[in-house]
Amino acid sequence: MNEIVNTAAPNTQRSSNLPKLLVIDDEPQIRVLLKEFLTDHFQVTLGSTGREAVELAKKIRPDLILMDIMMPKLDGVAACDQLRQMPETKHIPVLMLTAANTSFERIRAFNSGADDFISKPFEIEELLTRLRSKLKRARELGKVSEMVLILGNLTLNVQSREVNVDGRAIDLSPSEFGILQLLMARAGTVVSRKDIMDVVWGDQNKNDRLIDAHVTSLRKKVSAFDGNFQTVYGAGYRISKKS
The mean pLDDT value for 85-89 works out to 83
Q: Are residues 160 and 47 in the same domain?
A: no
Look at residue 140 in the predicted model and tell me its pLDDT.
64
Q: 6-24 pLDDT, tens per residue?
A: 444 444 444 568 999 999 9
pLDDT band (50, 70, 90) for residue 165:
very high
State CA 211 to chain mean position distance.
Answer: 12
Q: Are residues 99 and 211 in the same domain?
A: no
pLDDT band (50, 70, 90) for residue 50:
very high
pLDDT band (50, 70, 90) for residue 197:
confident
- Domain total for the chain? 2
Strand partners, 210: none
pLDDT band (50, 70, 90) for residue 102:
low
Is residue 192 classed exposed, middle or buried when 0-12, 13-18 and 19+ CB atoms within 10 A define those classes? middle
Q: Is residue 168 part of a domain?
A: yes
Model-level pTM? 0.60
Q: Is residue 12 part of a domain?
A: no
The mean pLDDT value for 70-87 works out to 87
Neighbouring residues of 27: CB distance < 8 A, sequence distance ≥ 6: 1, 2, 68
Choice between 201 and 227, residue whose per-residue pLDDT is larger: 227
Is residue 121 classed exposed, middle or buried when 0-12, 13-18 and 19+ CB atoms within 10 A define those classes? exposed
Specify the CATH number for the domain of residue 73.
Answer: 3.40.50.2300
Look at residue 195 in the predicted model and tell me its pLDDT.
86
**Separation between Cα atoms, residue 113 and residue 27, nearest integer Å:** 23
Look at residue 3 in the predicted model and tell me its pLDDT.
45
Task: List the domain range (segments joined by +) for residue 180.
Answer: 148-240
Choice between 147 and 14, residue whose per-residue pLDDT is larger: 147
